[in-house]
Chain A
Amino acid sequence: MDKKIETGERKTVNWVKIKRLLKGELGLILILVALLAVFSFLSPYFFTSKNLLNITRQVSITLIVAIGMTFVILTGEIDLSVGSAAALVGVTTAVVLKASGQLELAMIAGLLMGAGIGIVNGLLTVYGRVQSFIVTLAMLGVARGAALVWTGGKPISKLPADFGTMGAGYLGVVPVSSIIAAGIFVLAFFVLNRTKHGVYMKSIGANREAARLSAIPVKRYRVLAFVISGVMSGLGGILITSRLLSAQPTAGEGLELNVIAAVILGGASLSGGIGTVLGTLLGTMVIGVIDNGMNLVGVSSFFQQIVKGVIILVAVLAKRSD
């Protein structure tokens, strides 16, 4: 008799588990598979290993920045300054690279600039008690302006060729930037799920007061999330610069919108506490596949924006209507 009860219990648990999966990432995977099928049907070139690898290259920068954004959104905040931060970091890196000729030094300087932007965003939000939407909106202007003023509005070009490996190089057939993005993904996955830092940041977004009363150093971790986002935007900026071998003060314009769309599409909640990096990866892939596929099929770039907007909306709605 005991056995009977146990199997009964197990059955319900499995059913619940399946539902949970569907609510989580499985839905997005289905959307992604559907998109892949549609575009493969429409373009013979789409489903080739070359193009698929190309997609991973195209999404790598968005993915890296979106992973940083995931941390911020998880804590219940937003970072609108990522695109501008990427540009300013790109310029910083290029300037130091030109002056010193040292790649490592230039990159460290760039990443420090990214971290600095994150710290300012974080301190103003957490200790200055200004909404992150406002703080990072201001930073969006300030960082972009700084990049423009610093360069006089002109790109810094003719960077040494070996700097281009990161953004444009290949390891065998695999783009280096895809490998970097994959590395960041694994690292972020680990931090979010397997370390207290990630679990704490998630808790803060879910209920800040309860987090504080659970003995979590809330302020420190809220700032940390912005720093992570700053550094990730910085890495994105370095990759953009490397890819073009030129630092454009206008780089990454509108990047924040793509990135936020990817994170929300990935199932994160703007009110915090809910979201995964796997979701962010899938969200980024969906957007990347749409972009790539429509280009191949030859949809006009004006029309692409409409289609993309609609698909994102439908995907988010479909995920919710469970």
Chain B
Amino acid sequence: MIRVAGTVLKLEDINKSFGGIHALKNVQFELSEGEVHALLGENGAGKSTLIKILTGVHRMDSGKILIHGKNVVIEDPVDARQKGIGAIYQELSLIDSLTVAENIFLGHEPVGNFFGNLKKKELTGRALEYLNTFGIEIAPETPVSDLGLGQKRIVEIVKALSINANILLLDEPTTGMSKAEIDTLFSIMDDLKSKKVTMIYISHYLDEVFRVCDRATVLRDGENAGVFKIGEVDLKTLVRAMLGRTLKEEFPGRSGFPGRETVLEASEFRSEGMAAPVSFKLHRGEILGITGIIGSGKSELALGLFGVDRKVAGEIAVKEERAAITSPNDAKRRGISFVPEDRKVQGLFLRLPVEHNITIANLALSMKRGIISYRKRFEIARETAEKLKVTPLDVKMPVQNLSGGNQQKVVIGKWLCGATDIFILDEPTRGIDIGAKTEIYSLINSLADNGAGILIMSSEFREMSGVCDRVLIMRKGSVVSELAGEELTTEKILTVALGG
């Protein structure tokens, strides 16, 4: 059959509710053959829900899905796969105990015709082929548990590609990826585009959208808020469509200044996970950034400081007093809070209520005379969730029912409601929309203005230069440079971090 380039996929009046929450309201969407189409919107706007309807994870309540003009029903993910729809979900879905090759072909393994036995050799061979085609250097026999977050995403992508999808859905695919990995992804996408594969691309990083997308559909509160041609629209217009208001300044200013007192000091400190010793001083009222490309050792440093990984050398001092921190509990007792990098694995109790998640690390605040007060706990959770603009604002709801970005807000809230004065935040704004990010920066500012010392690990250089008073740049586990004042610019960080 010969096809002229036209509409590959059309969605008409899609509605979807979860309990009392109307996640999608009469949503329209159109995908032209061979385009990369951005799907934008605030946290909870309904982006992931739309994707999951297309892959049969969720059933829509009403509406029409047309593929090449034909009305279709997508029963389940297997059915979606057969219809040529592949997806990379926001939350990783790889199985840790299996190898890269096994994960890639999960559900459609090459099997022998006798007893359907798995052909291990062919599996590995074909996986290698795929990985090579995309220039990815990961051995197919590696267990997925050994991979970093960015590498896992790449494997997810290869997995989605292995079914030869002609519609590919990418939900925040660059989360946790290094710059090099992102470049790899984009070149894969270019390649697919030339093969007439059509893609939906979800991201909160609008610079990426301007780089790879042709058009953008914006959702707001589950409703359509415009379709734009990327070549003809500016950032401001897109942001206004997403938020329903203009964003004044991305990085709000501070009213306070860093003080003299050192609240956290590392001297030639090294933990099990770290490649090299690190020294730094964090002052009261200071926002100190630690940046570097992914794999530069930021997270390992964070885990070491919080007592998650065992110390092997050097010293840590808290408020100018030597501190032996051998567990997160020790760290907390010394007044340290820690927002970890991976919300699903390290941060959240997905099946438990928001309330539980927010109050668990500082449970003492919810107690009266050693007994948990339901009311106090509810109030703390509600207040924190409100401050962070968690939507929907229902703290009795299991966290897993929240959108990805809203889950991230809960991870931050878990430590923000405490009374500690040292904060270690590892990629705190990951997955959070552009408007809510600004709110979180304000919160971080006000913590610092009130005398807390804040250590932010992030691989977003713009965020680092916008938020921090001072930035340390790491490379291969060591701090290689320090930037502050006039010198602290995104460009400068970029050159140093990449090894200039």
Contact = CB atoms under 8 A, between A and B. Distances in A.
A193 interface: yes
A206 B332 CA distance: 21
B360 A203 contact: yes
A11 B19 CA distance: 12
B92 to A, nearest CB: 15
B20 A203 contact: no
Contact of B20 (A13, A193, A206, A215): A13
Contact of A212 (B308, B352, B372): B308
A196 B363 contact: yes
Contact of A213 (B328, B333, B370): B328
A213 B372 contact: no
A207 B372 contact: no
Nearest to B331: A215
Contacts of A207: 345, 348-350
A194 B371 contact: yes
B372 A199 contact: yes
B340 A203 contact: no
A16 B19 contact: yes
A322 B281 CA distance: 54
A13 B332 contact: no
Interface string B313-348: 000000000000001110111000010100001111
Nearest to A220: B329
Interface string B123-167: 000000000000000000000000000000000000000000000
Contact of B356 (A16, A203, A213): A203
A213 B338 CA distance: 8
Nearest to B333: A215
Interface residues of B, number: 34
B394 interface: yes
A44 B347 CA distance: 56
B371 A199 contact: no
A18 to B, nearest CB: 10
Interface in B294-328: 306, 308, 327-328
B396 interface: yes
A57 interface: no
Contacts of A19: 19
B20 A12 contact: yes
Contact of B329 (A202, A217, A273): A217
Contacts of B367: 196
A15 interface: yes
Given A16-B20, A19-B19, A199-B363, A213 B327 contact: no
Given A207-B348, A210-B346, A213-B346, A193 B372 contact: yes
B470 to A, nearest CB: 26
B396 A20 contact: yes
Nearest to A274: B351
A307 interface: no
Interface in B344-396: 345-352, 356, 360-361, 363-364, 367, 370-372, 394, 396
Contact of A16 (B327, B329, B363, B394): B394
A194 B349 contact: no
Given A13-B394, A214-B361, A217-B327, A206 B349 contact: yes
Contact of B349 (A12, A193, A273): A273
B414 interface: yes
Contacts of A206: 349-352
A209 interface: yes
A213 B363 contact: no
A272 B331 CA distance: 26
11 contacts: A20-B396, A196-B363, A203-B352, A207-B348, A210-B345, A210-B346, A213-B308, A213-B347, A214-B414, A216-B360, A273-B351
Interface of B: 19-21, 306, 308, 327-329, 331-333, 338, 340, 345-352, 356, 360-361, 363-364, 367, 370-372, 394, 396-397, 414
Given A15-B19, A199-B356, A211-B349, 17 more contacts: A12-B19, A12-B20, A12-B21, A16-B20, A16-B394, A16-B396, A193-B372, A194-B372, A199-B372, A202-B352, A207-B345, A210-B346, A210-B347, A213-B306, A213-B346, A215-B327, A217-B329
10 smallest beta-carbon distances between A and B, as pairs: A12-B20, A215-B332, A206-B349, A214-B361, A215-B328, A215-B329, A194-B372, A214-B360, A207-B349, A196-B363
